[in-house]
Structure 1
Amino acid sequence: MATSVIGFPRIGENRELKFSTEKYFRNEITQKELFDQASQLRLKHWKLLQDAGVDYIPSNDFSFYDTTLDTALLFNIIPQEAADLDLSPLDKYFALARGYQGEKGDIKALPMKKWFNTNYHYLVPQFDKTTQIKLVGDKIFAEFEEAKAAGINTRPVLVGPYTLLHLSEFADDVKLEDFVPQIIAVYTEVISKLNELGVSWLQIDEPSLVKDMSAQDRVLFNKIYDALLAKKASLKVLLQTYFGDVRDNYSDLIKLDFDGLGLDFIEGRKTLELVKSGFPDEKFLFAGLVNGKNIWRNNYQHTLKTVKQLATKNIVLSTSCSLLHVPFSVANEEFKPKIKAHFAFAKEKLAELVALSSIFEGKNDNLLAKNQKLFAGNRINSNEALKEKIANLTEASFVRTPEFSKREALQKEEFKLPLLPTTTIGSFPQTREVKKMRARFKRHELGQEEYDAFIAKKINDWLKWQEEIGLDVLVHGEFERNDMVEYFGQNLSGYLFSKNGWVQSYGTRGVKPPIIWGDVTRQKPITIKWSKYAQEQTDKIVKGMLTGPVTILNWSFPREDIPVSESTLQIALAIQEEVLDLEANGIRIIQIDEAALREKLPLRKSDWYSEYLDWAIPAFRLVHSKVKPETQIHTHMCYSEFTDIIPAIDNMDADVISFEASRSNLEILDALQAQNFKTEVGPGVYDIHSPRVPSVNEIENAIHKILQKVPEHKVWINPDCGLKTRGERETKASLKNLTSAAQKIRKELGECE
């Protein structure tokens, strides 16, 4: 039984790609040096897969920023304003990813959205009347030849045409169907060139097939692939899906002339049932049975049992999705051996694939016995008191009183904030100085008193600056926090933390998700010390800042031995204790961020409530259900598509919700208006994931657009996300422009300062 990997972490074992790329941004290395370092990294990864014994090794899964953006540029899908920039191709690429502001122009970054149900973000291709699709790049071909020159035969990977079209945005004067002939032509050209190069297999990724498909979608998909597969000649084509099952068009897929189908058996609830209903003998089934999104060891016995049920002879054992979504290697961690034995990061998953193949062929029974021993018995002791607490929750436990409209009136009287109150999402720049001091404190090179003095000064300086520019609701800046999930997990029981478990979130931005090892309870107050301190320094309101239970769950590697809904309730009860402590210590506005609420939403609408929202929304409500009416609860959500779950978000019963909205051109406003959204809102008026500084006029225009859709008494003015990744210069310039714009529009609306 052969083995296959869909994709591999491209950031490197020690985040080499991140550091090289950021050096390039700072003009510390040349383009050639960046390209050379990237080439070395690719070669290292290909050799790693080859040495591990993986049979099908991917190429073109590497990217400096995002593979969807790579695909768009390969096919000349680039906004005219970017095409006109007098920059090198690489710098145009980064301009589209990060925005560009300089002597050669000023353009915003492309919209950024979550990649299906993951914490990875992709750049959204833009189609308009000027778009002329043609093959202008050579990355997919160059990387295949680069590997071949090193003696490694790879399978090039390409985002599929159906998924590319469905992930893109189209100007009002064009529609998706307008571009289908060009798309077919350009993918046909790629296939022809791959044939010329002697490529054996092409992997075409079509994850959009696991979402709901209409009859028109099926017609479109079949039209595209009837044309493409007729031109494949000797090239074998693998149609690869992941993150779910292909129930809507499985019957089409097995009839089309694909040489292989890659199906997800981890998240695809109906995949096994579909395959057992019939699978063509002549096709290869690339069976995604090793979880590419979680870090727990594979249960060999369960996996092999599934393999034996597959009614086909041509089985290739594969990961369920790209290993991009897990850290590089457990070898880099310092867990105790008994704990480490339960984990498999990307490198270890390669060994699992090869071991499973070997065991299936009747070899290495010792590996099976060792694996069975790992899964025998209970890994942890359950917290019975916590179980009882959850069992005793009633419907009233999830309901806040009085109703929103009464709370809103009480809070307006309590706070007396001006029209269009200004605030930020919470964090301020985590400069090198901040990171250095935190690292020194962690290494015990700095005493508690000296470290606290440093944090206090940072808070004082930024509180003073916020007052000077006229922000209405302040934040303390979160200088004491490393990560919005890890910081909380470190104060909760049941959590483990990796030393080097980095996973790419977008571009050079990585996250280090903590691991939920056991039952979760709050061990001690988490945020009270610095929230209380900050509030004591000013007469203005300072928000308390917390991370919500759904986001803590979704941005952790969850347990697989209990339902995620149960884990989330455990976390919710812990955060509820923190909320009530903040309130008791005089914090009158508390923000409970649910940045990742949308992330684990099932990809099929029919599963939204039964499998997710029916427990995710109540978990958030549980957190704030006991606070006083005058205490104002905020939440924040970022870089996802929220328009289709607006009623569920309103049902969270927060008092104020801030959204990422700038990169999506404030599209969410129409949905808020259509759904009669009751909660007060702060749609982000500028993009913090770009270093460019928005002008006052630009922010004014964004506010005017908001006020066309949302009543002025419901609107807050804020950036679209936290500012920890930005530099101090652009942060201060942007926020000064934000407050100036808000103040100008207040005067237009007749409110005096």
Structure 2
Amino acid sequence: MKSAVIGFPRVGKLRELKFASEKYFRGEITKENLEETAKELRKEHWELQRNAGIEYISSNDFSFYDGMLDMTVLLGVIPEEYKRLGLDEHGTYFAMARGYQGKEGDVKAFAMKKWFNTNYHYLVPELNDGSQIHLSGKKPFEEYEEARALGIETKPVIIGAFTFLKLAKYNGSRTALDFAEQTARAYIQILAKLNELGTKWVQFDEPALVTDLSKEDIELFVSLYKIILKQKNNVKVLLQTYFGDIRDCCKEVLALEFDGAGLDFLEGKKTLELLKENGFPKDKILFAGLVNGKNIWKCDYAKTLDLFSKVKKYAQNVILSTSCSLLHVPYTLENETNLKSEVKKHFAFAKEKLLELHELSIIADSSDFEAFSEYKNNKVIFNAERLYEDKAVREKVAALSEADFKRKTDRKEREQIQKAKFGLPLLPTTTIGSFPQTQEVKKNRSSYRKGEIDRETYDRQVFAFIEECIREQEKLGLDVLVHGEYERNDMVEFFGENLAGYVFTEKAWVQSYGTRCVKPPIIFGDVKRISPITVKYSEYAQSLTKRPVKGMLTGPVTILNWSFPREDISLQEMAYQIGIAIREEVCDLEKAGIRIVQIDEAALKEKLPIRKNEWYSEYLDWAIPAFRLCHSRVRPETQIHTHMCYSEFEEIIRDIDNMDADVISFEASRSKLTLIDALKANGFETEVGPGVYDIHSPRVPAVEEITQALLKMLEKIDKNKLWVNPDCGLKTRGIPETIASLKNLVEAAKVVRN
């Protein structure tokens, strides 16, 4: 049995790409140095897969920032404002990714959105009425030749034509259909070039096929590939899907002249059923996604091989594959020296999943699985007890009633009480929470973790950072302050470290956007709060000023979505366990005199099922209550804020209003404030702060730019309900640009007030 990998993590075992990129942005290394690091990483990743016995290895799954951005460059649809900067290839690329501010001009970065139901973010291509789609770049071909020079045959990975057009943003009257012919011709050019190179297989990624498709969508997909596949010649084409099943277009996919189809049998709930109903063509190869590319738990060989045997009933030619790219899991367990062996044995990261693929491909060819020690060893792990059960936690969840999910005073009444209590000006200014994590902040945390300083010394330094932060915000003139979050490494990992039921890794980094990585904690058992987590830091910050300081918490849905969850209990059960823990923290903050508490739900939209008919029954029916559980016991004068970022919220805007927060801040700057139309259309009741500038870019917004954004907001939002804030936390930014941006934000608010 042969095996395949859809894609591999690209930042490196120890985030080498991240550090090289940051040095390049700071001007410390040349673009040639950056390219050399990238080349070394690609070589390491390809050889790792070859040595693990993987036959179908991907190339062009590497990116300096994002695959959709790479596709924008490959298809030559770089907007004119970026071309006019006159930068070199790298400079233009990163200007689209990060924004640019210099003597050549001032441009914002591309909009950023969640990649389907993952925590990865992609950059949204923009097509204007004058855009011309054509083959322009060389990256997939150069990387294919690079691998071949190492003696490794790869399948170049290309974002599919349908997915590219489906996810693009259209700035004008033309639609995806209007660009279809150009796009098909460009993909024909791609195939022609691959044929010239003697490429055996190319992988066209079409995850958009697992979404809800209209009749017009299916017609567009079919029309594109009827044209493209006529010109494939000798190169074999694999249509790769993931994150779900292709129930809306299965017959159409199987009827087209693809040489292989990659189907997800894990998240694809109906994939096996679709095979049973439609069969699988004998002249095609099925790349069966059976090893989970999105979680870190070891593969249960018995279950996987049982599923594989069912797949084999309906398809003759099968290759064992990952369910999606391994981009969504950490690189390797080899760096984890602190995990206990009884915990570590349950995990498999990207490198370990290669071994699982290889072992499964060997075992699957046999009629006697028990003859293999690998199978028997795996069986022992899954038959052993591993979970830490807490009876008291489960009893608390079971005892929850309707009253636990509802505040006693309705929002309109609370709004009047809070306005009278706080006496804030029109268009109150604030930030989302975190302030820049300087080298001094990181060194303090590192020294404490290494045991070089004790907790008292560590906290004394944190308090010094907090005082400096409060004084700076007062100087800037912000109305509602934050403590800066200097005690936190990450908004989820920090809380996980202070909750029972979690285990933690040292270097299990996962890419979030660009070369920004997160280290998700792992839910291993029942979750509960052990003791107060944030109270002393918030209480100290509030003691320094008469202005309100927000208590800063991460909400239960985000903590769950940005952790690797258990597989033995429901997501709802885990969310409610975490919700009870956060409620305890909220109540303690209130007792300590914190009058505003922000419970961030940055990832609320993230795990929304791809199929709309599953939104409520499988997610929103427990996700929204999990948030309400956190704040149901606070007094009406305590103001509850929340924050959400980098997703399309328009379709669930009423559900967000039903979270019953008092103030919600959204990312809005990269999406050009399109969210405010949805707020207006749905009669959004919650006070709201759409982000007025993009913190993921180093550029400093001018006062006039922010002023114009606020004036645009006021066309749709009641002036008494509008807050002024950046679109996300400031931890990744430098101090000079942060101070300059916030100074302009406060000034713009004053201009508009006047």
State whether TM-score is above 0.5.
yes
Matching residue of 1:660: 667
Distance between the aligned counterparts of 1:626 and 1:718, measured in 2?
Answer: 27
Matches within 5 A, 1:332-731: 332-334=335-337, 335-362=339-366, 365-731=372-738
Distance between the aligned counterparts of 2:216 and 2:689, measured in 1?
Answer: 37
Other structure's SS at 2:78 match: coil
Matching residue of 2:242: 242
Matching residue of 2:305: 304
Runs of at least 4 residues of structure 1 off by over 6 A? none
Distance between the aligned counterparts of 1:263 and 1:250, measured in 2?
Answer: 10
Q: Which amino acid aligns with 1:349?
A: K
Matches within 5 A, 1:116-135: 116-135=116-135
Distance between the aligned counterparts of 2:625 and 2:200, measured in 1?
Answer: 51
Q: Which amino acid aligns with 1:209?
A: L
Matching residue of 2:113: 113
Matching residue of 2:96: 96
Distance between the aligned counterparts of 2:742 and 2:444, measured in 1?
Answer: 26
Deviation at 1:10, TM superposition (A): 0.3
Distance between the aligned counterparts of 1:273 and 1:282, measured in 2?
Answer: 20
Matching residue of 1:205: 205
Matches within 5 A, 1:37-52: 37-52=37-52
Matches within 5 A, 1:28-43: 28-43=28-43
Deviation at 1:450, TM superposition (A): 2.5
Deviation at 1:131, TM superposition (A): 1.2
Greater Cα offset, 345-354 or 263-272: 263-272
Matching residue of 1:83: 83
CA contact (8 A) 2:609 2:619 kept: yes
Distance between the aligned counterparts of 1:578 and 1:13, measured in 2?
Answer: 36
Deviation at 1:380, TM superposition (A): 1.8
How many residues in Structure 1 have an aligned counterpart in Structure 2?
747
Distance between the aligned counterparts of 1:478 and 1:399, measured in 2?
Answer: 29
CA contact (8 A) 2:388 2:524 kept: no
Deviations 1:490-527 (A, max 9, x none): 11000011000001111121000000010000011000
TM-score, normalising length from structure 2? 0.98
Other structure's SS at 1:494 match: strand
Other structure's SS at 2:529 match: coil
Distance between the aligned counterparts of 2:295 and 2:93, measured in 1?
Answer: 31
2:221 matches 1:217: no
Matching residue of 2:173: 173
Deviation at 1:566, TM superposition (A): 0.7
Task: Give unpaired runs (5+ residues) of structure 2.
Answer: none
Deviation at 1:453, TM superposition (A): 2.2
Deviation at 1:657, TM superposition (A): 0.3
Distance between the aligned counterparts of 2:395 and 2:483, measured in 1?
Answer: 37
Deviation at 1:303, TM superposition (A): 0.6
Distance between the aligned counterparts of 2:459 and 2:220, measured in 1?
Answer: 61
Matching residue of 1:750: none
Distance between the aligned counterparts of 2:382 and 2:497, measured in 1?
Answer: 27
Deviation at 1:77, TM superposition (A): 1.1
Deviations 1:574-613 (A, max 9, x none): 0000000000100000000000000000011111001100
Deviation at 1:108, TM superposition (A): 0.5
Deviation at 1:402, TM superposition (A): 1.0
Other structure's SS at 1:77 match: coil
Distance between the aligned counterparts of 1:611 and 1:256, measured in 2?
Answer: 33
Matching residue of 1:276: 276
Matching residue of 1:67: 67
Distance between the aligned counterparts of 2:468 and 2:15, measured in 1?
Answer: 32
Task: Give unpaired runs (5+ residues) of structure 1.
Answer: 748-753
Distance between the aligned counterparts of 2:33 and 2:484, measured in 1?
Answer: 36
Distance between the aligned counterparts of 2:740 and 2:378, measured in 1?
Answer: 56
Matches within 5 A, 1:247-262: 247-262=247-262
Distance between the aligned counterparts of 2:459 and 2:632, measured in 1?
Answer: 33
CA contact (8 A) 2:100 2:106 kept: yes
CA contact (8 A) 1:80 1:130 kept: no
2:287 matches 1:289: no
Deviations 1:224-272 (A, max 9, x none): 0111111111111100001111100001111111111101111111111
Q: Which amino acid aligns with 1:385?
A: A
Distance between the aligned counterparts of 2:564 and 2:472, measured in 1?
Answer: 38
Deviations 1:395-437 (A, max 9, x none): 1211112111111111111111110000000000001111011
Greater Cα offset, 181-190 or 269-278: 269-278
Matching residue of 1:318: 321
Other structure's SS at 1:462 match: helix
Other structure's SS at 1:40 match: helix
Other structure's SS at 1:36 match: helix
Aligned pair in 2 of structure 1 residues 159, 526: CA closer, same or farther (>3 Å)? same
Q: Which amino acid aligns with 2:330?
A: P
Deviation at 1:174, TM superposition (A): 2.4
Q: Which amino acid aligns with 2:361?
A: S
Matching residue of 1:184: 184
CA contact (8 A) 2:343 2:386 kept: no
TM-score, normalising length from structure 1? 0.98
Greater Cα offset, 304-313 or 345-354: 304-313
Distance between the aligned counterparts of 1:104 and 1:74, measured in 2?
Answer: 24
2:10 matches 1:3: no
Other structure's SS at 2:287 match: strand
Residue among 739, 745, 748 paired with 1:732: 739
Deviation at 1:377, TM superposition (A): 3.9
Q: Which amino acid aligns with 1:585?
A: A
Deviation at 1:451, TM superposition (A): 2.0
- Calculate percent identity across the aligned residue pairs: 59
2:322 matches 1:327: no
2:152 matches 1:149: no
Greater Cα offset, 521-530 or 392-401: 392-401
Matching residue of 1:21: 21
Deviations 1:75-104 (A, max 9, x none): 111110101111111110000000000011
CA contact (8 A) 1:276 1:309 kept: no
Q: Which amino acid aligns with 2:297?
A: W
Distance between the aligned counterparts of 2:468 and 2:18, measured in 1?
Answer: 30
Q: Which amino acid aligns with 2:356?
A: E
Deviation at 1:141, TM superposition (A): 0.4
Deviation at 1:280, TM superposition (A): 1.2
Q: CA RMSD in A?
A: 0.9
CA contact (8 A) 1:111 1:663 kept: yes
Deviation at 1:172, TM superposition (A): 2.7
Other structure's SS at 1:541 match: coil
